[in-house]
Structure 1
Amino acid sequence: MKPWMEEFIRQCLVKIPDLLYQKRLTTELSDHLASLYEDLEAEGLPAGQAQALALEHMGSPEELSRQLYDRWRRHVRSPRYVLSQLTLTCCLMGLTFLLVYLTLGAAGLTHDAAPGLSMAGNPVLTGAVGALLFLLPFSLGTFWLTRRFQGHTSPRRMVLLGLLLAWVGQLCLFLLMGALLYGIPLQEPAALLARISGGGDPIAPWFTPGYLLLTLAGCGLFSLLAPPLFERRQKV
């Protein structure tokens, strides 16, 4: 791509923070601009004149920038985009949770096994493990959702929705695991939750009602503390 084309396209896309969407528009604009330039050159015009006419045909980069920004915001608000990003975020957070969970287990953090650092009878360590398993996936999810929904009309609401979906997914996963391991039906969530976090072989000793309430509040806090990049972008 010629330098003058790169500069024109850069001015057109300066308001769009989404790098993937920027790449898509860059290809679209460069193909169109190159086609115009080549057609004008084929008509026998000098390179400088062909460049000037091609840019004139494209119009003002400021006006085109506003049009492309509006187009990007419509794209971000589309149901297909919202669903795909929420699904991707939940998968990303779930994978992060699993990696942290396995890493802690490999490091020797278990409920009662030796050798290793036992969480049995150690509420401070148990709470620290639970906090780590919440903070890492959910902070990553907040960052990802913040970046993906900058052009949405209700970005913080989308961040909160994504975090709540992940929270519900985590709850359902542990309840299902507990039901399969302990034979307690899902229709008895209180007994199931108590068995998951207590007893002789709990699969998640930190997974208590207190943990659920605190992490639910944490989802709301993360959405409130999400970087205020949304408003700055939308006011450009």
Structure 2
Amino acid sequence: MTKLSVNINKIATLRNARGGNVPNLLQVARDVQRFGAHGITIHPRPDERHIRYQDARDLRPVVYTEFNIEGNPQHNFIDLVLECKPEQVTLVPDAIGAITSNAGWDTVTHKNYLIDVIAEFKRNGVRTSIFVDPRLDMIEGAKATGTDRVELYTESFAHEYGLGNHKAIEPYIQSAQLANELGLGINAGHDLSLDNIKFFKDNIPGLLEVSIGHALISEALYLGLENVVQMYLQKLK
């Protein structure tokens, strides 16, 4: 079964809108795991507009499944990861002020930088994943960095699938096949939803994990959080 990691950034966004502690981020993390999710994902950004760095510290003893921290490996982020020791760190090349992630790493241009960062995380027992576009050269570049996994950036697939273009899956299939040949684990995320997740999962060989936040929380507004988590788990079998 492909594992489901729930990104709870949007819960933090809602909490921060009123400045208090409602909804309670830690309780949501506890409940999501109780509902059956295999992990919790957070993506702190430098302006802390949703997840705060302190949230990562507070969540560490709460997350008993798999803790995945995403972000651009600047100094503060690296220090946070080494302090919290999550099971996985996902490296994302976010620009300062970006609303959301909008591109994968150029693993060729930034090879040496990624090698150094990944080596530091692996020395500390943290599994690494690199956020990449579905391009064969980027998969090959990722392998050269020493990363354990890649996370396929799925926005283009989700957009085209929504327009009825099922062929948009093809570069993802090719990327996954190459990753499998190279011994890289495969994760995926960004704009995956109840509408497209089963098609994506059924076509990607060796898909280990998906990280879903915005769509899942939005769907839960109508269907309920526990119900939505169960619906994803059913589609990921």
TM-score (norm 1): 0.24
Q: Which has the higher strand share?
A: 2
Q: Which has the higher helix share?
A: 1
Higher alpha-carbon Rg: 1
TM-score (norm 2): 0.24
